[in-house]
Structure 1
Amino acid sequence: MKKAIKLALAFVGLLVGAGFASGQETIQYFLSYGYWGIVGTIVAGLIMIILGATLFQQGSYYLADDHSAVFTSVSRPIVAGFMDIATMFTLFSIGFVMVAGAGSNLEQQFGFPTWVGAVIMTLALIASGFLDVDKLTGVISAITPLLIIAVIGALMVTIVNMPDNLSSLNELAMRNEPAAGLFGNWFLSAVNYASLNIIVGVSMILVIAGTELNPREAGTGGLIGGMIFAFLLVILAFIIFANMEGVFGADLPLLMVFDNMHPAVGVVVALIIYLMIYNTAVGMFYGMARRLSASKPQRFRPIYFTVVLIGFALSFIGFADLVSWVYPVIGYLGMALIIVMLLAWVRDRAAIQQETRRRERLAALAGDALDPTHSTLGPKQRKEVEKLLNQSNVDDANLWQTVQEDVAAELDADPDSEFSLHDMPDLDPDSDDYSGAPTSTKEAPVDWEAYDSLYQTGSFRAVKPGEADSGK
């Protein structure tokens, strides 16, 4: 469950960026329709719950390094190509919208020129290029609860000071300009909003879920994340609606709500919102760079830095205007992606369940192999490992290594276990002595001589795979 919570918070953190945390999306997509917009938030929230669970399962099932690998597996090449291009367009577009939101944030709260906030955000994004996916997930997860606490606090203050003139607030809310291209339809707006968020987050969702071996745990994380997102969306809409008189016309209406409570509270929340803007921006640019550098991983950082700088240049168009015309276009692209991904999940759900059981068994065998209180795996268990690896949907001869690294991390974190990653550097990707998995193939997925050396010495270096006797 601890892993699921971490994934859930990362999911929420990816999506509650400038438009959500600021309230600008909520104004344009929901409250511009008055009471019906509140109903729309519930519809959008339900969609997010369903898709959070299914997308996280798919990312884990394919152990995705980037979104294109999943798209290619679930659809025909032409459709996969369309979804890939649409996702790349989305990542870049939302990325520079987030940088624009960072500029608006500091301008509204502190009166700085918009370029100041944009420059600070750009520098933070560049620094993030030196983090790996696991560390990035940790950063995103750590920041997200701050916004949740702030929104719940605003909800309590709003309920205590609930206005009496709801009908006049409804009329004022409907004076807001809705997002373009949605034909004044609250239901279409709700579906478009959910689709927007899915295509915004799909690349990093699949990458983050791809670091989780167990599709069941990943799906639970997506489900919980979707529920948190839905809860936040509904109460955010309620908060802004109830405070409409004080926030009408603001670029960042949620920030204005807190500023109207007390200037000091506004300063704190401005910083929280700025961090949430960072969350979404880094997810967009990071996911895009991972995709562009998929065939040449060594080029990741130059590509990442380049797209961040281009995004900075485009951010000066203006935050509210960008939300109004960029987001609906992306939402329509997201609708097509949702249909493809849901159909693929329905088709593959039995295979996902089988693979989940397969990986859980591999994890149990890895636990026996690594637990200091157990003896090493016998011939029968080793044959079972090889059979499970060959049955896996993942065409990866290094799957046994991946499973053991995951189990080793869990054992190391368990205070009741005698296992220590310090004694097994070749199962710790963060170790300076880490050398990766020994050479293997799909036909011979495990070099047991090398692993015998690992279990005894903690390293593969005591033996060259296939060239020395077991236990040397």
Structure 2
Amino acid sequence: MEKQSISIKKVAILAGAFCAYMIGSGFSTGQEVLQFFSTSGPVKGIIAALVYMVLMMFFTYILYGIGQREQFNNPYDVFEYYCGKYIGKFYTWYSVVLSYGIYIVMLAGAGATIHQYYGTSQYIGTYAVALVALVTALLGVEKLIEIIGIIGPVEILFMIIMGIAALVTLAGQPNLLTANGDLIVTSGFKTASNNWLWAAILYSLLGLMFGVAFFVINGQSAKSVKEARISCMIGTVFYTLAIILLTITETVYLDIIKGQQVPTLAIAKHIAPVLGLIFAVIIVLGIYASVSSILLVVTRNFAADKTKKFYIIGIVLTAIGMFIGTLLPFDRLINILYPISGYSGIVFLGFVVYKEFINKNAFSMAKRANVDQMTKINE
């Protein structure tokens, strides 16, 4: 058997691209973690994050591997691979609509962030990020992965810095986490689910449906199945670490985040004004990375990279997203769209499990039975 090659640089870029794609505006602003993890309290929130990590490792291990092995012409072909022609077509279009909906949510997050920090109109932030993301998406898959592969680790680093600040605060007030942990549950924040375990499962299924096509593209970009799978494992671990740190941070700074559309920015400004300035830029960069990726993935369903049709569709989708992204409040958009997205992943997961394990095992058993029968005949 040929030995599968591993490039440390490529693994790092793909892991960083995973983090950048998953972070987006929902995570980097703090709203996503707040609604899925922090509102359950710090202990349950951290356990929920670990549950998410195990599930997401399972999903990405399969999808990165199948992307590298199959090299689909269109990343959305993975739905027909697992679900068959008709259900696969339904899931393809559902995923396109879902991804585009999340794209709009992220544009709203960009507008909310820039408005909260700089006091400018929300329209300015939404339009600016949309246009820069459009230019990046039109550069094609490989260039985009290179760009966002650098942004992802930077975002994780700043989450760690805020987490360290929260731990320092806890060192001086050791009872703060317990006290605020009880209060955050009843503080009136929007929640994805009243059950912490179900919130973790929903979040992982959201990640599955949100990321299917991108996971396949990342897997295709790797040089081997082993390289693809190692990158997704590393990316998932670092992303989960960021979830845990942000859950602790939001609990510690509960008084700071109340009434804020962008909790992380409020925390950063509280820790140090200069950190708030830098983090505002980091959040916008994170949103830009995800928006660029989603726009490219959605547009790829309609046309190949760098064709005239690809450029036209990308421009049209950007224009529509710029308009809709200013209509609803950011936290409300997340609370409506994200939980629904998680529920939609349950059925698709059933098809993946059947194809990868049940059907494969049945095929292997039938093959072994056939070999045994031929051996008896030859004897």
Q: CA deviation at 1:343?
A: 3.5
Q: Distance in 1 between matches of 2:21 and 2:268?
A: 22
Counterpart in the other structure of 1:157: 165
In structure 1, the residue matched to 2:375 is none
Q: 1:176: which partner in 2?
A: 188
Between stretches 337-346 and 1-10, larger displacement belongs to 337-346
- For 1:82, the equivalent position in structure 2 comes to 90
Aligned to 1:314: 324
**How many residue pairs align between the two structures?**
348
1:34-183 maps to which residues of 2 (within 5 A)?
Answer: 34=41, 35-162=43-170, 163=173, 164-174=175-185, 175-179=187-191, 182=193
Kindly state the Cα deviation for residue 344 of structure 1 after the two structures are TM-superposed. Answer: 2.9
Deviation at 1:2, TM superposition (A): 2.5
Name the amino acid aligned to 2:102.
I
Find the counterpart in structure 2 of residue 194 from structure 1: 204
Q: Contact between 1:66 and 1:206, CA under 8 Å: does it hold in 2?
A: no
Paired letter, 1:22:
T
User: 2:346 is aligned with what amino acid?
Assistant: M
Note if 1:31 corresponds to 2:43: no
Q: Aligned letter for 1:176?
A: G
Query: Does the residue aligned with 2:325 lie in a helix, a strand or coil?
Result: helix
Q: Considering fraction of residues, name the structure with more helix.
A: 2
Question: Which residue identity is paired with 2:125?
Answer: G
Tell me the CA shift for residue 304 of structure 1: 1.0
In the TM superposition, residue 118 of structure 1 has moved relative to its aligned partner by 0.6
* 1:66 and 1:287 in contact (8 A); partners too: no
- Paired residue type of 1:144: G
| Separation in 2, partners of 1:203, 1:107 | 32
Task: Report the CA distance shift for 1:160/1:326 in structure 2 as closer, same or farther (over 3 A).
Answer: same
Measured in 2, the distance between the counterparts of 1:278 and 1:284 equals: 10
Amino acid at match of 2:204: A
Q: In structure 1, the residue corresponding to 2:221 is in which secondary structure?
A: coil
Contact 2:137 2:293 in 1 (8 A): no
TM-score w.r.t. length of structure 1: 0.70
> 3-state SS of the aligned residue for 1:233?
helix
Tell me, in whole angstroms, the C-alpha distance in 2 between the residues paired with 1:349 and 1:220.
23
Displacement of 1:294 in angstroms is: 5.1
Q: How far off its partner does 1:223 sit?
A: 1.3
Partner of 1:323: 334
Q: 1:58·1:345 contact (CA, 8 Å) conserved in 2? A: no
| Residue 349 (structure 1) shift | 7.9
Give the secondary-structure state (helix, strand or coil) at the position aligned to 1:67: coil
CA-based RMSD of the aligned residues comes to: 2.0
**Where does the alignment leave 5 or more consecutive residues of structure 1 unmatched?**
351-472
Relative to structure 1, the CA distance from residue 241 to residue 295 in structure 2 (aligned partners, 3 Å threshold; closer, same or farther) is closer
Equivalent AA in structure 2 for residue 142 of structure 1: I
Indicate whether 1:21 and 2:28 are aligned. yes
Q: Do 1:55 and 1:222's aligned partners in 2 also have CA atoms closer than 8 Å?
A: no
Please report how far the alpha carbon of residue 96 of structure 1 lies from its aligned counterpart in structure 2 after TM superposition. Answer: 0.5
Q: 1-side partners of 2:17 and 2:161: how far apart? A: 21
Q: State the Cα distance separating 1:110 from its structure 2 match.
A: 1.1
SS of alignment partner, residue 261 of structure 2: coil
- Following the alignment from structure 1 to structure 2, what is the Cα–Cα distance between the partners of residues 135 and 105? 26
**Structure 2 stretches of 5 or more lacking a match?**
1-7, 362-379
| Aligned counterpart for 1:219 among listed residues 229, 254, 266 | 229
Deviation of 1:208 after TM superposition, in Å, equals 2.4
What per-residue deviation string (whole Å, max 9, x for no partner) do you get for residues 435-458 of structure 1? xxxxxxxxxxxxxxxxxxxxxxxx
2:347 to 336, 342, 354: 336
Distance 1:129 1:154, change over 3 A: closer
